[in-house]
Structure 1
C-alpha cells in the first residue's frame, strides 16, 4: 500500500514592501532633502533679500523734467468770468490787437464770459517737438467757474523765458458751483481750476547732454553712503573694476563710452542691476496738529517706564449781575465769576522691556 506524504519545504519569511525597501526610501528622502537645501541656498544667493533695482533708487543727472508756465485767457464762460477786472480788460485788448482789432482806450468790454488764467505743464525729459502734454489751467481773478470755457492759444515758457510749448483747447472741469438770488451758494470741489488732456504741443526740445558728457552721474533720491557704495560695487561687478566710483552720499560717477546708442544701452544695463540698499536711519515723526506719530522699522525700543493718564481742565463761567438800588442813579454792572478746576486721572506705571526692533 502506497502512502502519499507531501513534501514540506521551508520558505524564507516574507517581509513587507516597506520593511524591505526602508533603507532605499530613506536614501531617496535624504537625497531629495539635500537637493532642496542646495536649491534654496542658490536662490538666496542669486536674489539677495531687500534687493532693489538701481532705477528705483534714483536717476541719472540731467535727465529730468522741467516746469512750464503761461498766462492766457479762457473765453466762452456762461457768465462766470472775471467781470471787468482791469488786467483782464488789458489782456483782452492785447489779444484783439493780435488780430488787427484796435479797441479805444475808453472801451470797457464786459468780461463775464472771459477770465485770465495761469497755465502750468511739465515737460518730460527727451520730449520732442510735436509731442503732446497735459496742462492745468487755474483762474487768477474773480471767475467763479471755468466750466464750458476754451483756452486761447498761449505760449508756455520755461525758467529761461523761452517758449517750449503752445497750449490751446477746451477745459475739463471737475468742480461744480451754483448760486441763488439771495446769495446762498454751494460749491463742489474747485470749479475755478481745470485740465486739458494733451492740450499743449511741444515746440522745442531740452538738451540733456547725456550723449556728450565725459561721465554719467547717477544721483540717489536719498543720500546714503552705504547705498552709494553698493551701487558702485554692483556696476563694477557687471562692467569691470573701475567703471564706477561713489563721489559722495548721493552721486555715483560712471565712465561712459562715446556714442548716444552705446550710452543708451549702458544706462539700460545699469538701471536694471539689483543692489541692496542700506537700512534707513531710525526716525520718529510727530505731527502735533493731527496727533499722528510715524515710526519706521529701524527704531529700537529701550527700557522705559511709562504712565498715561487723562487730565481734564474745566472752566465754568457764572457772571453775576449787580443791580443798583432804586433812585440811586447807579448803573447795572455784570461781574465775571470764573471757576477753573483741573482733574487728573491717576493710572499705574508699567515697565516696557527692551526689544531688538519696534515690532518686538
Structure 2
C-alpha cells in the first residue's frame, strides 16, 4: 500500500511538472503569457527597407508567436537620447530592451547596470554584462559569396563599395567581399568610398556620385542603410548587390542579390530563454548554420555558371570546410597577414580588424589603403 502511494505521488508530481512546463504554450505553440513588453531602440525607422526593417519584421513575427508587446523607439541618435529612450522604455514596463545599433553600446552598458532585472540584447556590440547579451551574425560569410557574384559579373573589373564607418564590422565585410571577388577574378579591383553615416541619404548619394565619377564601375554594393546608392546605380544601368534585405522587387532591372538577415531565428530562441528564466549573457556570433544570415535569391540577371560557383562555395562554408579568412591572405600593401593554414581569431575579427586585403583601393584617391 505504501509503495503504491509513493508511486502514485511520483506520477502526480510528474504530471504537475509537465503541466507547469507546457502551461505557457497553447496548441499552436504560442506562448500564452500576455503583455511581456519588448522595447526596440533603433537608429532609423521600421520601413527603411534595410537594417531597421529587418529587425522590425523579425520581432513582429516573434511577437505573434510569444504574445509580446513591442514598443519601437525610432530615429534614436547615439547620444543622451539613447539613454533616455532606454530609461523611458523600462519605466513604461519593458522587460527586454533591444538596442539594434553598434552605436548604442555605451548606453546599453550603462542602463543595463542600473536595471539588473531587465534583459538587454545589443546588436553588433562587443561588450556584454550580467544582463546584457551582444549578438551579430557572420554576415561576412555572405558578403564573400556576394563578392563572387560581383567578381564574375563585372566587365570593367572596377567594382564600387559604399561603406559607413571604419570600424571592424564594416572593414571585415569589405575585405570578405573583396576576397570573394579575388577568388574568381584576380584582375578586378574594389574601390571603397566612406559616407561617415549609416543612413543619411544625401551623404550616401554624394559619396556614390564621387565614386562613379572616379571609376568605370559596373557593379556597386553597400554597407549602409541608405537606399540612394541603389537608386543612382539603377538609373545609370549599374548592377546592384544590396544589403540587409532583398530589394529586388524595387530594382528589378539591375538587382543581383544581397546579404540578408533573418533575425527571427535569433530573437525567438533568445526571448524564449528569457521568458523561461534561462537567459545567458555574453557574446553570440552566428554563422550560416543558424539561419540568421543568408544570401537573397540570385536574380534572373545572374547566369547559371555564376549560380553554380556560388552554390559550391556556400556549401563549403555551411559545412565548415573552411572560413573566409583562412590564409594565406595578403593585405593591400603586399604583406602576408594570415599564413597558409591559419585563420584570424574571432576576437581580432570582431574588435581589431583595421587593415585591407589585396584588391581594395581608396575610391577617390585611387591608391591602396
TM-based fold match above 0.5: no
Q: TM range, normalised to the smaller chain? A: under 0.3
TM-score scaled to structure 2, two decimals? 0.18
Task: Give the number of the structure with larger relative contact order, counting CA–CA contacts within 8 Å between residues 6 or more apart.
Answer: 2
Higher-strand-fraction structure: 1
Give the number of the structure whose alpha-carbon radius of gyration is greater.
Answer: 1
